[in-house]
Structure 1
C-alpha cells in the first residue's frame, strides 16, 4: 500500500464551494469506478476555507502516470474534470494547468531517524 497527500484550492466563493461539496456527495458512478480501477483503495478529501487536502491510499502498482492515461482515455472522466475545474484554481506553486499537487511528507510519528 502507498499513501499520498495532495492539495488544491477552490475558488474563494462560498456559493461555488457549497456547490462543489454538494457535487461530491453524489459523484457519478463512472467516476467512482475509474478511481477504483486506477488502484486507489481509499480517498478522503478535507476542506479548510478554500483549501482542499486529499489523502489517497493505493495498491502498490498505482502510478500517477497510469491514472492520467486512463483518465485521458475516459470521456466521462474528462467531462467530470472539466466540470470540477469551474470550482477549482491552481494552488500557489503548482505548474500551469496542474490541479492536485502531491505534498511531501516532512514528519512521521511512526518512523524513527
Structure 2
C-alpha cells in the first residue's frame, strides 16, 4: 500500500508487532512484566498505573490502559499523548519516523505550460 494512504488504524497495526520497542523508546522508565510493559503513566513517570500489552494475543498487542485515569488506546494514541500532540497528524509522522517509513511526498502542482501527463 502506498505510504501516503496509511490510515491511523493501519499505522497502529504496523506499530503493534513493535510494541515492546515502542515502550522501550517512549516509556523507558517502565519495565517488562510478563506480557506487559508497566510504567506510571503516558508521560513516562515511574509507577505501575499504565500497562501496555507487548506479547500474546495479536488483537491486544500495543493496547494500553492507564488504570489510574481510565484512559486507554493503541500505540498511536500512546505516542500522541507521550509527545503532547493535540492531533493525530504529528503522531502519525512520529510513528512513521519510528518505523523508518519516509514521510509521504505531496504531489506538486503542474507548472503552467509544462509537459502534460499522458491521457
| TM-score between the two structures when normalised by the length of structure 2 | 0.25
| TM-score between the two structures when normalised by the length of structure 1 | 0.26
- Rg larger for: 2
Identify which of structures 1 and 2 has the higher relative contact order when contacts are C-alpha pairs closer than 8 Å and 6+ apart. 1
* Higher normalized strand content (fraction of residues): 1
